[in-house]
Amino acid sequence: MDKPRFDAIVVGAGPAGSVAAYTMAKQGLRVALIERGEFPGAKNVFGGVLYRKPLEDIIPEFWKEAPLERRVVEQRLWVLGHDSVVGFSFRSARFQDPPNAWTGQRAKFDAWLAGKAEQAGATPIYETTVTSLIREGGRVVGVRTDREDGDLYAPVTVIADGVNSMLAKSLGVHREWRPDQVSLAVKEVLALPRGVIEERFGVRDGDGVTIELVGETFGMAGLGFLYTNQDTLSLGVGVMVSDLREKGVKPYQVLDHLKQHPEIRRLIEGAETKEYAAHLIPEGGFDAMPPLAGDGWMVCGDAAQMVNAAHREGTDLAMLSGRLAGETAVACHGTGDWTVGGLGAYTRAIRNSIIQRDLKKYRGLHGLLAGSQAETLFGQLPQALNDAVYEMLSVDGQSKQDKQKRAMALIREAAGGTAGLAGIGWRGWRAMNG
């Protein structure tokens, strides 16, 4: 029997893989899109905020048909103390038209996006796990799947199999991620009537709010989130695996703790848990990125650590990398050069894109957060900030000068003195500026 042959194989129908498949199929390449889930998105997890720009560049006005939840018109950052919150927020009608971002659900969104790749001509091969890459003379020439007679062949394989990326590991491009290069996130989807959500969050007509949460993670490096969907809320928290291990804390304990916070409890009161999920997030940043292309292969999205944790961007970078991989494959299809020489154009495209530029800008962040300073940054300082604001706002007969001194002392103390505070500021600035 003839071996099944394609021009390209894509492993994983997440945002990276489906966009890669769409880009290639649209240009007439014969593409196999392989996904282990029952359908694309079936088991995928994110916060989740989906950004307009990367997908609009590929499918103009996609929001008119894509299954999205709410337009994000307000973004809040809450620094949590034990029983209080210091909040920052930005709200603008400019985020309505055109929207900058929406909340979404992966089960619906991924299935829709993979459907676009199918409509463009990609062959869907779902409920199928790629078990290994087939190599000839060091070159990837296809994939082996868990189906009987399930070998498929193509001159290029786009590896978009997510954070665990067994396939990239099998190529030797990276090892198992270190515990300080990944965080473990848990998320609940909580059902509430639409009207209750709109009243509690002060929105209407499809508008929504995101809240990022800092603090109350037992002094571990991590962030929580609470996002509005149409008739559900997404509440979750991701914490660095190295910190979870060191403290012996389970991620669900952190989430349960957040749910008890009075300000969060107020927003989720009466909600019914519809889903509970856990997933890793690659947070190693620029220095953890593996080689991106070789003879017969390219690697995209989470499999290549393309997540900007500081801005909770992952799906956008995954989609952009999928597009760049797809465009590179289309060009190589023209020249017939599937070696690292031809596919290396993908590495250069990533280098010149916001993916590498943004990850490089924040390359120091990982070191800052993964170190011993987590306790200060995610434990002591958030509480001290809350205490300092409480001090400043309480009218209790103390002079404002005395109050200001006390508030500053609280912050300094939490940071380990004036030198500690200056050090955190300096290291923070450097960590976020390349």
Interacting residues toward ligand FAD by CB under 6 A: 11-17, 34-37, 40, 43-49, 129-130, 160-162, 166, 185, 187, 236, 238, 279, 281, 301-303, 307, 312-316, 318
Half-sphere exposure of 144 (CA within 13 A, CB side): 8
Q: Quick one: 312 or 323, whose CB is closer to ligand FAD?
A: 312
Min dist. Cβ of residue 301 to ligand FAD (A): 2
Q: Quick one: 81 or 322, whose CB is closer to ligand FAD?
A: 322
Q: Quick one: 43 or 247, whose CB is closer to ligand FAD?
A: 43
Min dist. Cβ of residue 60 to ligand FAD (A): 20
Q: CA 364 to CA 370: how far, in whole Å?
A: 10
Distances in Å between the alpha carbon of 181 and those of 42, 239, 249, 307?
A: 25, 11, 18, 11
Distances in Å between the alpha carbon of 199 and those of 83, 89, 104, 202?
A: 23, 18, 20, 5
Q: Which residues pair with 24 in a beta bridge?
A: none
Distances in Å between the alpha carbon of 332 and those of 20, 121, 134, 324?
A: 14, 19, 20, 12
Min dist. Cβ of residue 349 to ligand FAD (A): 16
Q: Cβ–Cβ contacts within 10 Å for residue 267, how many?
A: 20
Q: Quick one: 21 or 407, whose CB is closer to ligand FAD?
A: 21
Q: Quick one: 91 or 144, whose CB is closer to ligand FAD?
A: 144
| 374, amino acid identity | A
Q: Check: CB of residue 346 under 8 Å from CB of residue 293.
A: yes
Q: Quick one: 231 or 275, whose CB is closer to ligand FAD?
A: 275
Q: Quick one: 185 or 384, whose CB is closer to ligand FAD?
A: 185
Min dist. Cβ of residue 412 to ligand FAD (A): 34
Min dist. Cβ of residue 367 to ligand FAD (A): 21
Closest CA to 360 of 322, 308, 316: 308
Min dist. Cβ of residue 40 to ligand FAD (A): 6
SS3 state of residue 57: coil
Min dist. Cβ of residue 228 to ligand FAD (A): 13
Mention every residue, 6+ apart, whose C-beta is less than 8 A from residue 93. Answer: 73
SS3 state of residue 85: strand
Closest CA to 190 of 258, 271, 103: 271
